[in-house]
Structure 1
């Protein structure tokens, strides 16, 4: 599944001339030789979290949480075609219609198209090696 998703993402890339970094956690599917080879063969730089810390992958974790909580894509639907359609619609709404506070209330598409506002940077909530601030 991860290889199929990566192939689809590479095939549908809009800005093929721009450099691309694939950031992931250290899940087995992303560390697999075949997956890493596909990234390399397509000129995609691989980046992974260091210690399985979700704060190191905060933006991706937030997006996944929004898709699961706001769009309810994690619900138990047996029909694969229906599940794919729900996910596709959720991503379209997320990228094109849903403004984001972290994007100065622009949608992700609007943020990527403009050249004035800088993307906000997030810092780790770690105070030292093993203590995580609980909010």
Structure 2
């Protein structure tokens, strides 16, 4: 037991100065020790910097980026020490899920067309089979653009496309209209797609009928049936 602690325990029985005199301890040093015991512990500057950076970045920074922030302020601290500080204050980095747009929204109540490509050899001439799909493109400044495309199964060339900031039913229909206007395929063209609502819409079906085209659709949940379009 330290001398100062002994004096503190006996302070109720005798004056502090008298105890200091008996134990040959400077009273000023004893009082300074008592003040230090009563004062709250001072948090190291690097810990303050870490917690401030964690709060400033909306609790999304992990130990790697927090270390970079602390080191930028002149604090040489590693990730393990930062991890202990976060755990001591019950702080956890929040990692938001990455947003991935959905390009296929099928209606189970709609009767889909059969897959007319199953078991069939690849076409040996153009304008026999077209395959289509919708993909999304990151937009400068945030958000997404949606691209509907039709490819010739034989030549692998894009025959029609349309791009918009939403996915209305007319997105794939307009892309197909452009392809039909340029290629003028003969009757019997197989137009293959997934079971998305844009491909089962009434206007899309009417467009196929007017041009003598035949609808073909992938089986539900089977991306391999339309791999030729999805790989694009």
TM-score (norm 1): 0.42
Tell me which protein shows more strand as a share of its residues.
2
Bigger Cα Rg: 2
